[in-house]
Amino acid sequence: MHASSFFGLITLLAFFMTCIAAPMNVYVPTVLYPHKSSVWQIGSRHNVTWDASSPPSQLSNPYGMIVLRKDGRLLLDRPLANGFSILDGRYEVTVPDVEPGEYQICLFGDSGNYGEVFNITN
């Protein structure tokens, strides 16, 4: 009886280890808009767009977050959007009241990836 319990436990542990070791695909969609020639005015609305045409079969995080990046620093305390499906391919945001200058969009899902540098103006 003890031997069968031991082998049952080993089988159960092997099953769980297989589940834990199953690789999750990291989804890194390319940010398409804004691009380098884009100029956003504070208070205006724009669609942030990304290539959602080739998602993996399994996502470790299906929800997205969009933040601005300026001078290498992510403005995480002021996300432009969060909680949307990363598979949507676009999300409309309102340009916040920030210091005018050069920015990038960072799209988070499984990972964070940056769009091209663009400008925000008054």
- The model's pLDDT over 70-114, given as tens digits with 9 standing for 90+, comes to 999 999 999 999 999 999 999 999 999 999 999 999 999 878 899
| Residue 14 within a domain | no
DSSP 36: T
DSSP 106: E
| Residue 72 within a domain | yes
What's the rounded mean pLDDT across residues 64-74? 97
Q: Which domain holds residue 107?
A: 31-120
| Residue 111 within a domain | yes
| Residue 67 within a domain | yes
Q: Share the mean pLDDT of the chain.
A: 86
Q: Which of 61, 58, 68 is nearest to 105 (CA)?
A: 68
- d(CA 12, CA 30) in angstroms, rounded, equals 40
Predicted pLDDT at 12: 45
| Residue 66 within a domain | yes
| Residue 68 within a domain | yes
Predicted pLDDT at 27: 79
| Residue 116 within a domain | yes
CATH code, domain carrying 114: 2.70.50.50
The one-letter amino acid at 50: W
